[in-house]
Amino acid sequence: MKIGHQYNSAVHGFSQETYTRYMFQPYSASFSLFRCIRYMLHSRLILNLFSWKEKSKLQDKETSLKKAAAKGSKAEQKAKKKQVEEEISRLSAALEAKHAAELATFGYKPAESSEKGNLDTLVKAIAGVSVSSNADSAKPGKAAKRREKKAKEEAAREQRIQEEQTNLVSDRMLEDGKLGRRLEPLGLTIHEIKPDGHCLYRAIENQLSLHSKGTTQYNHQELRQMTAKYMREHAADFLPFFLSEGKAESGPDPSESFEKYCEEMESTAAWGGQLELGALTHCLKKHIVVYSGSFPDVEMGKEYNKSGPGGDPSIRLSYHRHAYGLGEHYNSVIPTELS
């Protein structure tokens, strides 16, 4: 694209008066100052062109994802629409941060600041360099290089985040689509659980409440304490799996690492997984089924499986590998008519 002198406020990002003043007026005595300002305005123009292009690509991505989300059952469409809105919101925030970091390298403040203030900042910054002596010019030059390097690193980081978020949207939608197709014939659907580190325990708390028609004797914190207690009392059963999963810290005594692991489990928001599920199935004497769009279904505590008319219903969970950028997640699985 050739960048000519035709003014366009949507692309240039500053008023026509400012553009004309510094792009067309003859050089004054302060030749280097005007040359710097012209360079900075051209740089700002280029940044705005790239920003416009990136925003346009994000809008195209949003349209594509919304079309993909408009397929399947009503429950699936609702879940997919929510996912798309969340991820597009994250991508938009990351893109805005990236653009703000790029503009900051030229002395521009956020969009709500006045243009006059931005222009004054720019002129003062450049004038400070232009009128300084040769002896002092090296210091601003080094500072400018540091700012430029930092801005490039920040832009690269934001670009990586944006790419990861884009991939996450696709992976999440694929995983949720497979899981939805697995659950729909069973008359089941997902009940979303807050992703706060307690998701496994909150999902089980939700299941217990569902089975007891709104009341449960255990909350998520009590389930944590119960799990840690059972694992300590049956350390010989859990320690080999604990070591095989690489959870133990380096040291001569793995039992110390195991105890530390149990302490974190009962007192922090540490994420729970298969070890904890193995303990919970025995603590609660419940059959647990974990559905997934990435792996085959997992069953634990088959000896407690008494589902059926008059039997004790199974605890049903869903495992999501790509639900959030922070890692794996568990939700509760409930009958569709209760959603």
CB proximity list for 102: less than 8 A, separation 6 or greater: 47, 51, 151, 155
Q: Is 333 strand, coil or helix?
A: strand
The Cα–Cα gap between 232 and 95 comes to 47
317 pairs with which residues across the strands?
A: 290, 332
H-run or E-run covering 291: strand 288-292
User: Which long-range contacts does 11-19 make (Cβ < 8 Å, 24+ apart)?
Assistant: 11/45, 11/48, 11/49, 11/52, 12/44, 12/45, 12/48, 13/44, 13/45, 13/48, 14/41, 14/44, 14/115, 14/118, 14/119, 15/115, 18/115, 18/119
The secondary structure of residue 252, as a DSSP letter, is: S
Q: Which two tokens stand for residue 145?
A: 């290089």
Q: Is 298 strand, coil or helix?
A: strand
The residues annotated with a catalytic role in the active site are 196, 199, 329
**94: nearest Cα among 154, 12, 179, 33:** 154
Residue position matching structure tokens 């496994």: 200
Q: Which two tokens stand for residue 326?
A: 């922070």
**315: nearest Cα among 202, 224, 222:** 202
